[in-house]
Amino acid sequence: MKKILVLGASGLVGRALIDELVEGLDVYGTYTSNVTSLPHDKQFSLEVQHIDKMRELMDTVKPDVVISCLRGDYDHQLTFHEELAKSIKNQHTKVYYFSTTNVFDGDFSRPYTEADTPIAESEYGKFKMKCESMLQEMLGERAITIRIPMIWGKNSPRLNQIKESLKDEKVIEVFSNLVCNHHLDVLLAKQVRFMIENDVKGVFHLASIDRMMQSQFYEQILHQLGVEKSILEPRFFLDKEDVAYFQIESNREDIPRVLRYTNSDIISSLFQ
């Protein structure tokens, strides 16, 4: 049975991964302030600046797969992942690293596939780009990069913010000319399970496979919530009327069609 260590297991994606992978796999996880649903002896408190504790954990668990959903200070994260890679450099362990659409936020003129070279403008995008590159350089094919867009979930901050805005009658600003990707935590976890079980390699874009403006996606969320009066306030992205793309696409065939999701699939699953 494969040993899986989820770094950042108490976050939105981490919790979904644990729930999905715990059946049939030997799953361990780390957390910062909130504990996870794992047994006490399979979860560990770990901060990104605690490098020695990370090394001890790797020696103790000896995972076959590490999934990184970590958050925190960018410099600390970069150092953490570099030391993680060093600690497993001569082992068989694979690292599935969660990156972001933001590695392409230097140019919003088109969607991007796995074959495109990242071009980041934001500090977040630049940090993720550096971490991707470092892991791939140090671990080669044992570093699998998963780029994801905005993630939703039944208890996600994004959905809770909408509910709070409705309660307080506050408007939500949305972009009427920005094509975005979205994903759902539990559906993403199913894709990751498939990737682990089928030993995929390389860079993957996991996101909704169809196009939708950000404002349209929010409109459909409100419709599912039974809201008749919209609290949305449309505006132009970057104050320009031209269509902009904060969108990743996949040109890979590794993920089967049954595990590829549309925006409608994501919204429907969000309210099931």
Cα Rg, the chain, nearest whole Å: 19
The answer to whether 99 touches 132, Cβ cutoff 8 Å, is yes
pLDDT for 228: 78
pLDDT for 206: 98
Q: Which domains does the chain have, with CATH numbers?
A: 3-150+183-205 (3.40.50.720), 154-182+208-270 (3.90.25)
Residue 72 CA neighbour count, 13 Å, CB half: 21
Per-residue pLDDT reduced to its tens digit, 192-217: 999 999 999 999 999 999 999 999 99
pLDDT for 218: 97
Per-residue pLDDT reduced to its tens digit, 113-123: 999 999 999 99
pLDDT tens series, the chain, 272 aa? 899 999 999 999 999 999 999 999 999 999 998 899 999 999 999 999 999 999 999 999 999 999 999 999 999 999 999 999 999 999 999 999 999 999 999 999 999 999 999 999 999 999 999 999 999 999 999 999 999 999 999 999 999 999 999 999 999 999 999 999 999 999 999 999 999 999 999 999 999 999 999 999 999 999 999 997 789 999 999 999 999 999 999 999 999 999 999 999 999 999 99
pLDDT for 8: 97
How many angstroms separate the CA atoms of 104 and 115, rounded?
12
3-state secondary structure the chain: CCEEEEECCCCHHHHHHHHHHCCCCEEEEEECCCCCCCCHHHEEECCCCCHHHHHHHHHHHCCCEEEECCCCCHHHHHHHHHHHHHHHCCCCCEEEEEEEHHHHCCCCCCCECCCCCCCCCCHHHHHHHHHHHHHHHHHHHHEEEEEECEEECCCCHHHHHHHHHHHHCCCEEEECCEEECEEEHHHHHHHHHHHHHCCCCCEEECCCCCCCEHHHHHHHHHHHCCCCCCCEEEECHHHCCCCEEECECCCCCCCCHHHCCCHHHHHHHHCC
pTM metric for this prediction: 0.96
Q: Is residue 237 classed exposed, middle or buried when 0-12, 13-18 and 19+ CB atoms within 10 A define those classes?
A: buried
pLDDT for 34: 87
CA nearest neighbour of 21 among 247, 186, 255: 186
